[in-house]
Amino acid sequence: MTLRLFNTLSGQMDELVPSDGKAFRMYACGPTVYDYGHIGNFRTFLQVDVLRRALKLTGTKVRHVMNITDVDDKIIRNATAAGVPIGQYTARFEKAFFEDLDSLRVERPEQIARATEHIQKMVELVQKLAAVGAAYQTEDGSWYFRLASFPQYGKLSKKDLSGMEDGARVDVDEYEKDSARDFALWKAAKPGETSWDTAIGRGRPGWHIECSAMAMEYLGESFDLHAGGEDLMFPHHENEIAQSESVTHKPFARHWMHVRFLLVDGRKMSKSEGNFYTLRDLLLKGYKASAIRLALISVPYRHQLNFTFDGLIEATNAIDRLRTFHQRLTQGDFAAGENPALQAAAKKAQAEYLAALANDLNTAEARAPIFDLIRTANTAMDQGQLLAGDRDAMLAVLASFDAVFDVIEDRDAEPTRRALEYAEQAGRQADVAPELLARQGLTDEAIDALVAERTTAKKQRNFARADQIRNELAEKGIVIEDSKDGVRWKRK
Residues that bind ligand AMP (CB under 6 A): 29, 31-32, 40-41, 43-44, 228-229, 231-232, 259, 261-262, 269
3-state helix, strand, coil in the chain (%, to 5): 50, 20, 30
Residue 271 CB, nearest distance to ligand AMP (Å)?
12
> Residue 231 binds what, of Zn ion, ligand AMP, none (CB under 5 to 8 Å, by partner type)?
ligand AMP
Q: Which stretch binds Zn ion (CB under 5 A): 23-31, 156-164, 219-227, 439-447?
A: 23-31
Interface with Zn ion (CB under 5 A), residue total 2
> Residue 376 binds what, of Zn ion, ligand AMP, none (CB under 5 to 8 Å, by partner type)?
none
Residues 211-240: x where in contact with Zn ion by CB under 5 A, - otherwise, as a string:
x-----------------------------
> Residue 283 binds what, of Zn ion, ligand AMP, none (CB under 5 to 8 Å, by partner type)?
none
How many Cβ atoms from other residues are within 10 Å of residue 23's Cβ?
16
DSSP class of residue 405? S
Q: What are the residues whose beta carbons fall under 8 Å from the beta carbon of 43, sequence distance 6 or more?
A: 259, 262, 296, 305
Residue 455 CB, nearest distance to ligand AMP (Å)?
48
Q: Are 257 and 5 in contact (CB under 8 A)?
A: yes
Residue 236 CB, nearest distance to Zn ion (Å)?
5
Helix (H) or strand (E) holding 410: none
> Residue 229 binds what, of Zn ion, ligand AMP, none (CB under 5 to 8 Å, by partner type)?
ligand AMP
Tell how strand 169-170 and strand 196-198 pair up. Answer: unpaired
Q: Count CA atoms closer than 13 A to 476's CA, side-chain side.
A: 20
Q: Choose between 259 and 387: whose C-beta lies nearer to Zn ion.
A: 259
Examine residue 253 and tell whether it contacts Zn ion (CB under 5 A): no
Measuring CA to CA, how many Å separate 302 from each of 257, 258, 359?
Answer: 9, 7, 12
Distance CA 23, CA 38 (A): 31
Distance CA 468, CA 110 (A): 52
> Residue 261 binds what, of ligand AMP, Zn ion, none (CB under 5 to 8 Å, by partner type)?
ligand AMP
Residue 327 CB, nearest distance to Zn ion (Å)?
42
Q: Choose between 232 and 381: whose C-beta lies nearer to ligand AMP.
A: 232
Q: Are 150 and 242 in contact (CB under 8 A)?
A: yes
Residue 14 CB, nearest distance to ligand AMP (Å)?
21
Examine residue 29 and tell whether it contacts Zn ion (CB under 5 A): yes
**Nearest residue by C-beta to ligand AMP?**
229
DSSP class of residue 430? G
DSSP bridge pairs for 196: 203
Distance CA 108, CA 420 (A): 24
Distance CA 364, CA 352 (A): 12
Residue 258 CB, nearest distance to ligand AMP (Å)?
8
Q: Which stretch binds Zn ion (CB under 5 A): 127-135, 206-214, 453-461, 474-482?
A: 206-214
Residue 386 CB, nearest distance to ligand AMP (Å)?
41
Q: Choose between 175 and 261: whose C-beta lies nearer to ligand AMP.
A: 261
Residue 207 CB, nearest distance to ligand AMP (Å)?
9
Q: Choose between 135 and 225: whose C-beta lies nearer to ligand AMP.
A: 225
DSSP bridge pairs for 262: 305
Q: Choose between 60 and 212: whose C-beta lies nearer to Zn ion.
A: 212
Residue 102 CB, nearest distance to ligand AMP (Å)?
17
Helix, strand or coil for residue 186? strand
Q: Choose between 259 and 349: whose C-beta lies nearer to ligand AMP.
A: 259
DSSP class of residue 11? T
Helix (H) or strand (E) holding 465: helix 463-475
Examine residue 257 and tell whether it contacts Zn ion (CB under 5 A): no
DSSP string, 131-164: HTTSEEE-TTS-EEE-GGG-TTTTTTTT---TTP
> Residue 211 binds what, of ligand AMP, Zn ion, none (CB under 5 to 8 Å, by partner type)?
Zn ion
How many Cβ atoms from other residues are within 10 Å of residue 114's Cβ?
18
Q: Given the rule CB under 5 A, which residues bind Zn ion?
A: 29, 211
